[in-house]
Amino acid sequence: MKIAILGAGTWGTALANSFIDKHEVHVFSTFAEEVKKLNETHTHKNLPGVSLSKDIVFTSSMEEALKDKELVIFATPSIYIRNTAVMAKPYLRKWQIIVSVAKGIEEGTLYSTCEIIEDVIGKEFLFVALSGPTHAEEVAIHLPSAIVAASKDIEVAKKVQQELSLPYLRIYVNDDIKGVELSGALKNVVALAAGISDGIGYGDNAKAAIITRGLAEISRLGVALGANAKTFSGLTGIGDIVVTATSRHSRNNKAGNLLGQGYSLEETLKEVQMVVEGINCLKAARELEAKVNVEMPIVDAVYSIVYEHIDPKEAVNRLLARDLKQE
């Protein structure tokens, strides 16, 4: 199979370094200098110690990247998905399968990444969300991982499963694309909360409570929006939250840790030096919360720290002071 990956960030590049074992892979980047360096050095600045296959073709030509490709993977940060779809639209063909591996919710429209792409290129395409507890740093060096291919058309999800599964990358299928994408986006906010807790100096008890109650919030919201409750107990739910909220690889967890230590938002983003999807998702998460009138106190607490400049300890105190209730 011929595959195009749109986005030469850590995740897009890590996937390319895995899928090249079975397929022909072109990776698109808008930055010609980045393409030149990747093709010459076969290394990525955010994947230290990883040797990239020389068979991967990096290109700054969208037309070249998409020509004759059966599978098109959108792998840019969620805030760039719409612009990437606009750039890709003239070269896309209806027989191509569109896969999103980005995790986010667009402010205003409240669209998931697959919905953003559909809004730009049309409903005639087949869409799949590929999501789960998979850090790029581990996938790039072929450490064992499991992920989910979700689509309204389960046969399309199964085709992606068959084509992209590898000895070290096990793919499951799910027809609840709404739940999978929602969970993939909002787990980053929970990871921010877990990082904030660490940054303040709280322990494992607090982190376990944040992960568990954060999952409950996401599940409530998802069900209210029509998702399947079972999705949130799977790889794209609890699995993705655990890995993002606890791992040293997690930029969301790192950003939260800095916020918990008292860093400002600007200082935090400068320190992390990569896109923090949890930050990008916060405003849309609050919009969704208000839209369906679902209580999400952890999301509210993180929002108050990031955008209302509430002291992190005060935000935690407010959470603990809420009315007692049944789990």
DSSP H or E run through 193: helix 177-200
- CA dist., res. 57 & res. 143, Å (int): 23
- Residue 44, C-beta contacts closer than 8 angstroms, at least 6 positions apart: 8, 10, 13, 38, 50, 52
DSSP H or E run through 169: strand 169-174
Residue 95 to residues 83, 119, 272, Cα–Cα distance (Å): 22, 17, 39
Residue 298 to residues 7, 44, 204, 289, Cα–Cα distance (Å): 31, 35, 17, 12
The residue type at 72: V
- CA dist., res. 280 & res. 145, Å (int): 26
Task: Give the single-character DSSP code of 170.
Answer: E
Task: List the catalytic residues.
Answer: 187
| DSSP bridge partners of 148 | 131, 172
- Residue 190, C-beta contacts closer than 8 angstroms, at least 6 positions apart: 210, 211, 214, 215, 217, 218, 241, 244, 245, 298
Cα within 13 Å of Cα(171), Cβ side:
19
